[in-house]
Amino acid sequence: MKTGDDYFDSQEFQDMLSEYETAVNTGQPVFLDADELSEIADFYQMQGQTDEAEAAIRLALSLSPGAIAPLTYRIHEALYHGDVETAKHYFNQITETDEPDYVYDKAEILIAEDKAEEADLFLRENFKTVPPEEYQDYVIDVAHLYQDYGYSDMAMQWLSRSKPEDTPDFKELMAHTLFGLGKYKDSEKLFNELIDTDPYQKRYWNALASAQFMSEDYSASVQSSEYAIAIDPQDAEGLIAKANGLFRLGNYEEALKYYRRYSEHEPDDEFAYLHQGTCLINLNRNEEAIGILTLALEKATAFAEENAEDVSPYLPDIYQELSFAYSETGNADKAIECLDKTDALDCDHSGIGVVKGHIMLAASRFKEATHYFHQALEESEDTPQTLLRIIVSLYDNKYVEEAYKMFRMFFKEAGCDLNDGYAYMALCCYDLDKYDEFLHYLKMACKRNPKECRMVLGHLFPEGMDPRNYYDYIKEKMRNQ
């Protein structure tokens, strides 16, 4: 099975790996140096063979205690687990201080300490001592370092010091950097170029799928992920990419299948269980949703226990989806109990208040719904958006006339700068047979917020139609009637 890494897939590395494994399995001495053993440890780590990786790196350190390659492995291992002090401990053991990795290790530790600017000053100062023939390698290595930590703006600054290369490595780094800067179409173009040169490289297809997903081209994203899965049917990244794309397309039955396949490979990832639960809610299989969301909660709690300073970022969403499932099964009190558990979490508390009001409204408990809606408005830092969500809740709970009246007041008070809500008002007018007003608000929705327009009104129009054309389509249809 190919790893997708050019070096690990090369005959040179495979021969070295075979030599190492033969020696280990037969109890013979291993005639490899610390650098080679560190490469083998990296390979095993990539394959998820943690015990084998540990054995290789221990052997490397026993042969060369101050060697930079195995100590860099240990530094990366510590930083991955958020242990900066242990990373510093290993850094101080390095004796090969004239190696380029010594500079990169120090900079990486600074970045991990949230001292990216200090790291940049250090790297720029060291750049002054780099021989001219090594400039290109240095700036590209630094750009890689910043990109790995999500500092795409700083990665681009260093890339701007380089000479553009028509090589896969350079293009891939540039593509990921552009992606990090939110330039998804530019990133997509480069990944397509990379695929043209190597169509069987699954990581290119997965990266392309991510760029297309962020550009909201979900059908193309699903197609790209299918190529990655065709290359490697067990590829977890391809499976989750396809699941996410199907989910956004509203194909919850198929999305559920791929989230489940992903969970077979990544059983501790609460994200996939969360989305399985959301798919089940959308399929009106709420009892099943409660079961899988409870599992998601267990996984998220385990994450918090293993990472004492971190809370799963998906915890508020898990509680919210659980509340929806309980609400749909008629257990409003249990739904509120779930939402109360978000009080101590870092999340949108005014938004949670709107959800509480929504659940009480669905249960016909109007007094409590009003209380939560008022509470949400008091806590809100964006009152117009919170009020809009409350009005949408009224509509969703079939209080269409009340939603219509509140929308009238809302738009009167909000002024002309607001771009949200017009599609919902158009839908209210459509349901109330107020067709002149429907056309008025549809036209505004098409112009001001096509994304909301598609989400709210798409079911009234041919599948795949650009929402900017909705108004003209309706006008033409009325002329032909």
> Which uninterrupted H or E stretch holds 150?
none
Nearest alpha-carbon partner for 393 in 361, 353, 346, 352: 361
Task: Report the percent of the chain where pLDDT is more than 90.
Answer: 90
Per-residue pLDDT, 479: 79
| DSSP-derived secondary structure letter, 469 | G
Q: CA-to-CA distance for 61 and 67, rounded, in angstroms?
A: 7
Nearest alpha-carbon partner for 222 in 235, 199, 238, 234: 238
Long-range contacts made by residues 341-345, C-beta under 8 angstroms, separation at least 24? 342/315, 342/316, 345/311, 345/315, 345/316
Cβ partners under 8 Å of residue 480, min gap 6: none
Give the mean pLDDT of 261-272. Answer: 96
Give the mean pLDDT of 455-475. Answer: 91
pLDDT-based confidence at residue 48 (cuts at 50, 70, 90): confident
282 φ, ψ (degrees, to nearest 5): -65, -25
pLDDT at 133 over 90: yes
- pTM (predicted TM-score): 0.88
Give the mean pLDDT of 249-277. Answer: 97
Per-residue pLDDT, 24: 94
Higher pLDDT, 481 or 372: 372
pLDDT-based confidence at residue 446 (cuts at 50, 70, 90): very high
Q: What is the pLDDT of residues 383-426, one digit of tens each?
A: 899 999 999 999 999 999 999 999 999 988 876 678 999 999 99
Per-residue pLDDT, 256: 98
pLDDT-based confidence at residue 44 (cuts at 50, 70, 90): very high
Give the mean pLDDT of 124-132. Answer: 95
pLDDT at 26 over 70: yes
Cβ partners under 8 Å of residue 52, min gap 6: 44
pLDDT at 304 over 70: no
